[in-house]
Amino acid sequence: MWGSNARSAHPIFFHHILKGIHNGARMYCVDPRRSDSAQWADVWLGIDVGTDIALANAVAKVIVDEGLHRLDFIEKSTTGFDDFVESIQSYTLEYAEQTTGVPGDVIREMAIAYATAESAQICWTLGITEHHNATDNVLALINLSLLTGHVGRYGSGLVPVRGQNNVQGGGDMGALPNKLPGFQDVEDHEARGKFEAQWGHPIPAKAGNHLTLMFEAMEHGDMKALYVIGENPAQSEADVGKARRIMRGLDFLVVQDIFLTRTAEMADVVFPAAADWCEADGTVTSSERRVQRVRKALEPPGDAKTDVEIVSMLAAELGYSWGLPKAEELWDELRSLSPMHAGMSYQRLEDLGGLQWPCYDEEHPGELFLHGRLWEDPPRGRLAPFSPIVHAPPVDQLSDEFPYRMTTGRHLDSYNTGVQSGGYDSPLRAGGTIDVSPEDAASLEIAEGELVTVSSRRGSLEAPLRIDEALRPGLVFMTLHFPDEADVNQLTIEAWDPQSGTAEFKATAVRLEKAAL
């Protein structure tokens, strides 16, 4: 587990991990906090925030130095090994210990355990991806799996655990600036032509902007209208004060949501939507690429309509007559255009409790894991490249003025900006606190429950202090669940990864002071 607190954020996935642990599987947990998940680990590696590449490269160097890399797999199925080995030479255990805060012998132990295990997986979530160098972090982990052959085999693999019930499905369906449904490239003429023929309309031939670039375009006045569906950027964006200023500068904002969110409050037009998971029919795709049916159990309130109805009605206003297609009809059209979904009829999804893509025809059972092709002889398709990666510390550096490293994450009973989870009374709800280590609470002379002023280079807020023994001195924590109480994204930095567009929510430099009464 690397940068994932699945015990709290993905509890039922963690049930499966616990079964493994009870069956004798060993778990190493890399996390700045001794999280709920870390408490189940054989070894907890309390890493300093944003030093994952230094750790991963040091692990790789141990594996290579000890001769534990899997040369047959590397030679047959990968490229760039020699350059990669050269790139990790400076990542000695001494350097890694100094940079990451994890003792060298512990790094060495994990490296040897990972390399010599019959099967091993690396699971990660936003602790890896909410950094300015998110893609590099992921590539550094991929390097480890290529070194050891822990990929594309039953029981081994790379497991990014998805944070939303259909964030995978959104990508699958082409809600990405450069992809059509089924991950077909929008700039691929043949693929695009297929969709254009089916839809009877040309599709822009160039990749669009991802969210972060959209905000830049809005800031520069290149983008003047925005249509937001089921997202709450007025509370979820990093450096949210700036994001709100930018959105206020728009000529026209449309928001389609099940609630009048803070973003919807800013809108010129609001489309009240039905809740997809219980007021409409359709599918979602889970973290394990499993496409499953969602079904209508409730009538939506008032004038709320399903997303399909709203989009169809909007199309009618724009002069296109789509009628009101049923979810299954849309899905069948998707199956005709996206080969990896072709075998997933509604009937099969119903009978089998979901199917994991790719699923090419109605006889195909779906794939339990990907990249098995790398083990074929010779490997099918493109060989897997090693990526030389250089450690780069968080953008928001610690200083005398901002000496604490703040990171963010989820609580078990709450979710994202609280739009959904705020609706029920949870006996566990802790509220928007600033969590600090017992040592820091003592040195700051602030007691639990007392108000603290938390300031970063971008903003400042007040929140009650909570002592958390899972934190080490110098590390503080806030959740994103309670923006109305503690607007944590006033503090976070919008520095973002140029490849994924994800902002560095996980690493903010802050100052703590007892709030003036």
Partner 1 sequence: MSDVTITVDGRSVAVSDDATILDACRDLGQDQPTLCYLENLTPVNACRVCVVEVEGSRTLVPSCSRSAEEGMVVKTDSPRVRLSRKMVLEFLASSVDLSQSTEEVHSWLDQYEVDVARYGPQVTGAAPRDGRHAGHHAIPTGLTAETVDQPVKVDNELYIRDYAKCILCYKCVEACGEDAQNTFAIAVAGRGFDARISTEFDVALPGSACVYCGNCIGVCPTGALQFRSEYELRQEGLWEEDEQTVTRTVCSYCGVGCNLELHVQDNRIVKVTSPMDHSVTNGHLCIKGRFGYDYVQELGDDLASTPIDIVLKRARSG
Residue type, 361: D
Contacts of 22 (CB under 8 A, 6+ apart): none
User: From the list 26, 76, 293, 348, which residue makes contact with partner 1 (rule: CB under 8 A)?
Assistant: 293
**Residue with smaller CB distance to partner 1, 31 or 257:** 257
With beta carbons less than 8 A apart as the criterion, state whether 306 and 300 touch. Answer: yes
Contact 470, 436 (CB under 8 A): no
Select from 25, 117, 167, 398 the one that contacts partner 1 (CB under 8 A): 167
Binding-site size, partner 1 (CB under 8 A): 56
Task: Determine if 173 is a binding residue for partner 1 (CB under 8 A).
Answer: no
Closest contact distance (angstroms) between CB of 220 and partner 1 is 34
Peptide bond into 301 cis (omega under 30): no
**Of 323 and 427, CB closest to partner 1:** 427
Nearest to 49 by CA among 122, 105, 130: 130
Nearest distance in Å: CB 132, partner 1: 23
Among 423, 445, 516, 517, binds partner 1 (CB under 8 A): 423
Q: Which of 147, 258, 384, 463 forms a contact with partner 1 (CB under 8 A)?
A: 258
Task: Give least dist CB 68 to partner 1, A.
Answer: 32
Burial profile 76-105: b = 16 or more Cβ within 10 angstroms, e = fewer: bbbebbeebbebbeebbbebbbebbbbebe
Please name which of 334, 332, 366 lies closest in space to residue 346, comparing C-alpha atoms: 332
Encoded tokens for 421? 């989870």
Site for partner 1 (CB under 8 A): which residue of 189, 245, 295, 380?
A: 295
24 binds partner 1, rule: CB under 8 A: no
Pairwise CA distance, residues 469 & 477, whole Å? 11
- The verdict on 425 binding partner 1 (CB under 8 A) reads yes
For residue 178, CA distances in Å to 115, 135, 202, 225, 337 come to 36, 17, 15, 20, 16
The Cα 469–Cα 452 span in angstroms is 18
Please tell me whether residue 175 binds partner 1 under the rule CB under 8 A. no
Contacts of 182 (CB under 8 A, 6+ apart): 172, 174, 334, 337, 338, 339, 340, 341
Binding residue (CB under 8 A) for partner 1 from 318, 428, 516, 517 = 428
Tell me the β-bridge partners of 254.
227, 269
Stretch that binds partner 1, among 188-196, 234-242, 410-418, 452-460 (CB under 8 A): 410-418
Amino acid residing at 130: E
Residue 481, token pair as written in the block: 């669940």
As a whole number of angstroms, the distance between CA 305 and CA 374 comes to 46
Question: Considering the rule CB under 8 A, would residue 413 count as an interface residue with partner 1?
Answer: yes
Binding piece for partner 1, criterion CB under 8 A, among 114-122, 309-317, 411-419, 504-512: 411-419
Cα 376 from Cα 372, distance rounded (Å): 7
Among 374, 419, 475, 486, binds partner 1 (CB under 8 A): 419
Of 84, 164, 83, 161, nearest in space to 128 by CA: 161
Q: Which is nearer to partner 1, 165 or 387 (CB)?
A: 165
Q: Which stretch binds partner 1 (CB under 8 A): 54-62, 275-283, 471-479, 483-491?
A: 275-283
Site string for partner 1, 299-318 (x = CB under 8 A): x-xx----------------
Q: Which of 109, 196, 219, 288 binds partner 1 (CB under 8 A)?
A: 288
3-state secondary structure of 310: helix
Q: Does 20 bind partner 1 (CB under 8 A)?
A: no
**Residue 13 makes contact with partner 1 by CB under 8 A:** yes
Does 431 interact with partner 1 (rule: CB under 8 A)?
Answer: no
Is 9 a residue that touches partner 1 (CB under 8 A)?
yes
Contacting residue, 1, 5, 10, 475, with partner 1 by CB under 8 A: 10
Cβ(498)–Cβ(476) under 8 Å?
no
Q: CA 408 to CA 456: how far, in whole Å?
A: 14
Per CB under 8 A, contacts with partner 1 among 318-357 are 353-354
Give the nearer residue to partner 1 in terms of CB position, either 13 or 84. Answer: 13
Beta-carbon contacts of 103 under 8 Å, excluding residues fewer than 6 positions away, are 97
Residue 195 near partner 1 by CB under 8 A = no
Question: In angstroms, what is the C-alpha Rg of the chain?
Answer: 24
Give least dist CB 382 to partner 1, A: 27
User: Which residues, numbered 133-162, are part of the site for partner 1 (CB under 8 A)?
Assistant: 161-162
Binding site for partner 1 (CB under 8 A): 9-13, 15, 18, 22, 40, 161-168, 258-259, 275-279, 284-288, 290, 292-299, 301-302, 353-354, 412-415, 419-428
